[in-house]
Amino acid sequence: MSDALRIRSGEFGRVALLDMDRSQVRHAHPHCHVLLKVDGGDTAFLVGDKVCPLTDETAVLVNAWTPHAFVHDPSKPRTLILALYIEPAWLAEFRANWAASGDIRFFENAVGSITPTIRKYTMELASSMVHAPTALSDHEEMLSGLMVAVIEQFTEWRSVGEGLREAARLNSVDWRIRKAVKLIRNDPGDVDNIDRIAEAAGMSRANFFRVFEASLGVTPRVFLNVIRLEQAVHCAVHSDTSFGELSDRLGFSSQGHFTRFFRDHAGVAPSQFRSTARLGEAPGFSHFETLG
């Protein structure tokens, strides 16, 4: 079973140190998402329709709202992964045009070769999260250095922004899709049928699905699941809401269904996610004493 060894959250988004041996379903995030191998076997992610290897020499780069999945080979060892879910607004504090990290075209390629600097920051951050779990300011400083190195390596960061703003003007979202998005965001638990959202938007089912995906890059169902997961993650970290209540609020038929959904999308069960994110403690990590 996959484990979350450490989870940190803040204005930067969140960072998770995940010990993975279980595949995940196809899902997406509203973040700039970077995956870096720390230890264990080489593995891969499916990003869009491309298989992207995650190794000591490569990183997997997932643009916001891009569907992806962890692909685990049961015959291979588990993999320790540093997973970064970074808020574009936080990156914009480094350079204003890095707000474009929330765009579906920010990373041109979904896999790329890491530099020694990226490797150094990856190992230092993972090691500090394990050995100094309360050194939060140190973690954010290391994360800052890591993300600067990632963006400089994998994007045309000096010119990014203007082209994306022009693309945004040319591909403005249909007002009916904006209405549907608002309905989903406001109460994802009330969305028991996507067809009902299409009807509320005043569109046929086929046209709604086509225009929605063309506008946002994901299907309505994937978008709904993203909103459900992000609300579940926020409540797991920042509230004492029971998972039974949260399951009902987000529209799941049972708490067991919610737990499976959370585990399939986040890699671990919600109870473990909450305890790890809050306490910074995870049993059984002595075999990583060599980190750093």
Q: Which two tokens stand for residue 78?
A: 């588990």
pLDDT band at residue 161, thresholds of 50, 70 and 90? low
- 283 pLDDT exceeds 50? no
What is the rounded distance in angstroms from the CA atom of residue 137 to the CA atom of residue 133? 11
Q: Domains of the chain, with CATH numbers?
A: 3-165 (2.60.120.10), 173-274 (1.10.10.60)
**Which of 115-124, 208-217, 233-242 ranks highest by mean pLDDT?**
115-124
Q: pLDDT tens across 43-70, in order?
A: 999 999 999 999 999 999 999 999 999 9
**Which among 113, 68, 50, 61 has a CA at the least distance from the CA of 84?**
61
- pLDDT of 170 reads 44
Q: pLDDT tens across 188-226, in order?
A: 988 878 888 999 999 999 999 999 988 888 889 989 999
Distances (CA, A) of 200 to 70, 204, 251, 268: 34, 10, 18, 35
Residue 99 one-letter amino acid:
A
The mean pLDDT of the chain is 88
Q: pLDDT tens across 184-197, in order?
A: 999 898 887 888 89
CA 62 to chain centre: 8
What is the rounded distance in angstroms from the CA atom of residue 127 to the CA atom of residue 124? 5
- pLDDT of 162 reads 53
What is the rounded distance in angstroms from the CA atom of residue 255 to the CA atom of residue 52? 33
Beta bridge partners of 32: 86
Position with higher pLDDT, 266 vs 138: 138
Q: Does the reported pTM lie above 0.75? A: yes
Q: Which two tokens stand for residue 158?
A: 């000096």
